[in-house]
Amino acid sequence: MSLPGATVQALPTGAVPGPVTADRAHLFTAGTVADYRRVLAEGIDRVADRVAAADRPFTGVTPQDLAPRIAGIDLDRPLGDTGAALDELQDVYLRDAVYFHHPRYLAHLNCPVVIPALLGEAVLSAVNSSLDTWDQSAGGTLIERRLIDWTVDRVGLGPAADGVFTSGGTQSNLQAMLLAREEAVGRAATSGGPRPSRPESLSRLRILTSAAGHFSVQKAAKLLGLDADAVVTVGTDAGRRMRTDELAREIDRCRREGLRVMAVVATAGTTDFGTIDPLPRIAGICAAAGVWLHVDAAYGCGLLVSPTRRHLLDGIDRADSVTVDYHKSFFQPVSSSALLVRDRRVLRHATWHADYLNPARAVEQRIPNQVDKSIQTTRRFDALKLWLTLRIMGPDAVGALFDEVIDRAAAAWHLLTEDPRFEVVTRSQLSTVVFRYLPTGPGRALVDEANLYAREALAASGAALVAGTTVDGAHHLKFTLLNPETTVADIAHVLDLIAEHAGWYVRTRTAGELSCPIR
């Protein structure tokens, strides 16, 4: 209905829009497509040149060096020119960025990304669909749903399974624990006997997870209002895998003490050790006890497309929920992740109907609104990156890349076990290697300090980046290999650099020339 006296005229099909005014010159519209092509090409050229020229993964810049440069920029005075803005960006970001594509970046679970996914990133950013409701995304909704169906089929969760894309493993684990909590509270309310209050039910809930599991489980428990001691860590064996005998004892102890185990969290690819918990045995224990099983496969999900190692995930098909991070082992740009569930009905615990967005009647009309499944509202069409990757490369090619980095980690493990300068903790089932430099003689007492120093000195040089962690209270170093371009020669070179830095520290300290230990 139009206002009285108003005349509404539609723009004829094929009509050319009017001139672009100065205040609208930077909006991406039909009138600015030429600028869009030119500006993006300039940006792509800058990134491509920087990637091609990078001779190390990092410059070694410190926060103290970089912060004043960024703080000194007056954001109220625009440069007004793309070239000038890119020159400035080169100074405050591109030059000192950490480049995961470099073969001597060996630190965290950051992967180089495949070009089809970068194409998807460009498309989804420009169209800017929001995946919360059908009327904001249309085909985007169906593409995401198709990818969820494809992934749950790879996992083997069955015909009633479903899921939703998330921002990452932490969000997926949080939502999984939310669903498990609500299911547990619901069972407590219908189990017979006096009905406990909700606070009382929450106070009795426990989550059992491996001592080598991800910290996001503890974080989720805190965000969900559970008690401070709600997360019970289960010990690991020599291979850093959850001990199933201890798991069974903890479940039995909780039952005897009137506590309710709301979930067991198994890990398919621990962040430090790359180990996979014994999923078939854990699944059997959870089934016998009637306990929700969540598998955190944020890291190990790449095995779903591995041509040679899919069997390492045997038992994952018996989980109630699964976390997958495509932006780790599927070589996708951040973010690209998902939570999968065996029974789609449990996703109702994340549903809230708003009349202006996803009214309840939309369910009756079978309108596919993804916000009904997600704890996010506005959400990027990140699924497009994986979609184009599968349509251009195919899953076997992605899996072959993941196999390569696992092979490289095995080679690194062999190098370390044969090198008397180092001690390696355990052999990874995936692509991490945890180790430390071992000083000899009087320097042995400096082992922790030497490894801390070596990591910091290596980062300051920018020649390579490695991660650090603690194992049984002792400082260790860690390789995380996710780049198929990394060679055994690269790994050997980085080991030599570590030994050089650590050896210098030990020699200097034992000679009394360095009075202040590393902090």
Task: Report the alpha-carbon angle 243-247-248, nearest 5.
Answer: 120
Q: What are the domain boundaries of the chain?
A: 121-392, 396-510
The whole-model pTM stands at 0.92
pLDDT at 7 over 50: no
Q: What is the mean pLDDT of the chain?
A: 93
Phi, psi of 56 (to 5 degrees): -160, 160
Given a contact cutoff of 8 angstroms between Cβ atoms, the answer to whether 208 and 251 are in contact is yes
Question: Hey, is 100 helix, strand or coil?
Answer: coil
The string of pLDDT tens digits covering residues 11-26 is: 555 555 666 777 788 9
The string of pLDDT tens digits covering residues 317-365 is: 999 999 999 999 999 999 999 999 999 999 999 999 999 999 999 988 9
pLDDT at 436 over 80: yes
Query: According to the CATH classification, is domain 396-510 in 3.40.50.150?
Result: no
| Side chain identity, residue 14 | G
Question: Which of 429, 399, 381, 409 lies closest to 330 in space, CA to CA?
Answer: 399
- Measured between alpha carbons, how far apart are the two ends of the chain, in Å? 71
Q: What is the pLDDT of residue 515?
A: 58
Query: According to the CATH classification, is domain 121-392 in 1.10.1040.10?
Result: no
The string of pLDDT tens digits covering residues 374-388 is: 999 999 999 999 999
pLDDT at 281 over 80: yes
Q: What is the pLDDT of residue 271?
A: 95
The string of pLDDT tens digits covering residues 448-468 is: 999 999 999 999 999 999 999
The string of pLDDT tens digits covering residues 230-250 is: 999 999 999 999 999 999 999
The string of pLDDT tens digits covering residues 177-215 is: 999 999 999 887 776 667 788 888 888 999 999 999 999
